[in-house]
Every structure is written in C-alpha cells, then in structure tokens.
Amino acid sequence: MSQKVLLNATEINIALNRLACQLIENHHNFSETVLVGIQPRGVFLAERLKSLLETEYKIKDIKLGYLDITFFRDDFRRSEKPLEANKTRIDFIVENKKVVFIDDVLFTGRSIRSALTAIQSFGRPLEIELLTLIDRRFSRHLPIQPDYRGRQVDAINGEKVKVCWKENDGEDAVYLVKS
C-alpha cells in the first residue's frame, strides 16, 4: 500500500479560507442559511468552516447540524458489514432555509442522494447546496455535483482518498491511497 500527499496542512488551510469566502459571497450574514455536516467524516470539515467563519470573518450565530444518513442509504443488506449509525443532531427547522451540505469527499454521490432524502424529515428547505473538500471527478453514479469544492482529484477505482483532520487523526492532510 502506498500513499501520495494531495494536500498538506497549509494547502488545506488555504482551501478552507477560500471556501469560507465563497460561502460568504452567497450567504452574506448566514441569517437564512444552515450548515449541515454529513456524518461521520463531514462534521470535521463543517466544524472547521464554522469556527473559521466565526473567528476570521466575524459572522455570528451560524447554525450547524449533523446529519446521519445510515437509515436512508440504498445499500442496506448489500454490504458485508452491517451499517452503523451515527448521531443526528439538528436542533433547528430547515423549513424555508438555505441548507449547505458539507462532506469531505464526493465520490459516487450516493451519500448525498441519501442526505437529500434524510433532510426532508426536518422540513422543506428553500434550496440545498453542496460543499466538499475533495471532488473525485469522473466517478459519479448519480447526477450530483458540488457547488463549492476544495480540490478536484482524478483517482481510479482502486484508489482511495483519505482526509485526515488534526482533531481526529493527529494531522491535517489529504492522501491518495493506492491499495
């Protein structure tokens, strides 16, 4: 198994700042916008962006929720291992709000498809956007594209993109792992 660095800590930081600025361009003071991190790996990115927006760009009261999509996935009973759920924590109503889904890697698009169904349990959003740190090109199974992306990556099927966060994995880095 070999791995190649796609983004180091500095590059991740630059990408995060750019994504934060792009969000501000479209959502101004975030009064009508809610951020939703997709469990399990999207929540790290979502937390980072929230704290960046609050500390660096002085935007107050950003609403952030975690959405678990386990029970909405389309591969229940098709994978070897049983699907394990994570916590959903959305303590606001998304009715008529602009929702931004945040996930680390966009690959087949199936997780986002599930998230689009799952979020309906919390109301009817005005619109939904998608932000991902890594967009794996040419690998989509569904017509889903990100509105904000950190970096586009071409990876073949046997390869895996691994996103590490300091708070969980000890460092900020994105690797391309060949098995």
Partner 1 sequence: MELSVKHLLGIKYITEADIQLIFETADHFKEVINRPIKKVPSLRDITIANLFFENSTRTKLSFELAEKRLSADVINFASSSSSVTKGETLIDTVNNILSMKVDMVVMRHPNPGAGVFLSKHINASIVNAGDGAHEHPTQALLDCYSIREKLGDVAGKKIVIVGDILHSRVALSNIFALQKLGASVKVCGPKTLIPKYIEEFGVGFEPNLKKALEWCDVANMLRVQNERMDISYFPTTREYTQQFGLNKKLLDSLGKEILIMHPGPINRGVEITSDVADSKQSIILEQVQNGVAVRMAVIYLLASKIKHDEN
Judged by beta carbon, residue 60 or residue 77, the one nearer partner 1 is 77
Q: CB of residue 97 vs partner 1: minimum separation in angstroms?
A: 14
Q: CB of residue 115 vs partner 1: minimum separation in angstroms?
A: 13
Judged by beta carbon, residue 61 or residue 84, the one nearer partner 1 is 84
Q: CB of residue 85 vs partner 1: minimum separation in angstroms?
A: 4
Q: Given the rule CB under 8 A, which residues bind partner 1? A: 68, 70-73, 76-78, 81-88, 93, 117-118, 120-123
How many CA atoms lie within 13 Å of 6's alpha carbon, on the beta-carbon side?
23
Judged by beta carbon, residue 83 or residue 156, the one nearer partner 1 is 83
Strands 33-38 and 98-106: parallel
Residue 41 CB partners (closer than 8 Å, separation 6+): 103, 104, 105, 163
Strands 148-153 and 127-136: parallel
Which residues, in sequence order, are bridge partners of residue 35?
Answer: 64, 100
Judged by beta carbon, residue 51 or residue 88, the one nearer partner 1 is 88
Q: How would DSSP label each residue in 105-145?
A: EESSSHHHHHHHHHGGGG---SEEEEEEEEEETT--SSS--
Judged by beta carbon, residue 3 or residue 86, the one nearer partner 1 is 86
CB distance 136 to 153 below 8 Å? yes
Q: CB of residue 87 vs partner 1: minimum separation in angstroms?
A: 7
**What does each C-alpha distance from 99 to 110, 119, 127, 165 come to in angstroms?**
18, 9, 6, 24
Q: CB of residue 84 vs partner 1: minimum separation in angstroms?
A: 7
